[in-house]
Structure 1
């Protein structure tokens, strides 16, 4: 059985609604630098998956975090890793491929 079933998911539409309602969710984008440069959800915190373990100090353990990548595979792995370290996380299902909201270009 996959451990991924233990990770709660949130849809891109739900994330967009939360942003539009002014909720200051912590959104961590684990894509590579060149992917984020092409467009990212406004207000994200960018930590590429390969840097996640070294940058745990940047992530508030008292908040819930929404993890994002291109298709939701890498963010699912990131969510599993963070959850194993005691963080509260959700994975954005479908990733940026399903994102219809605004984009920041870095």
Structure 2
């Protein structure tokens, strides 16, 4: 499984980022423009994941995105795990939209 740092993926033009966190997590902090499919729905929603480009997968700290990346790779998707998740993304000073946690 390949991994990439938040800084490296942010520097890419038109990167497709798949966020596998739960909806309530997205209300707390999110990256604008991501494809949002919770890990628990990934199997049934696999058809929504692009197959014509590399997909960069993110979660909170990197565990769920690693699982999702392995699943996607096994199903023919060129997927790369974003190490450290959105927590590392935020700590690196990269843009996030913060919202009201419920």
Task: Decide: shared fold, TM above 0.5.
Answer: yes
Q: 1:36 aligns with which of 26, 41, 55?
A: 26
Residue matched to 1:3: none
Q: How does the TM-score come out when normalised to structure 2?
A: 0.88
Q: 1:66 aligns with which of 56, 65, 69?
A: 56
2:7 aligned with 1:13 = yes
CA distance in 1: counterparts of 2:98 and 2:47, whole angstroms: 26
Tell me if structure 2 keeps the 8 A contact 1:41–1:101.
no
The structure with the greater share of residues assigned to helix is 1
**How many aligned residue pairs are there?**
96
Q: 1:27 aligns with which of 17, 21, 25?
A: 17
The alignment partner of 1:67 has SS state of strand
- Tell me, which stretches of 5 or more residues in structure 1 are unaligned? 1-6
Q: What is the RMSD computed on CA atoms of the aligned residues?
A: 1.1
The offset of 1:16, in angstroms, is 2.0
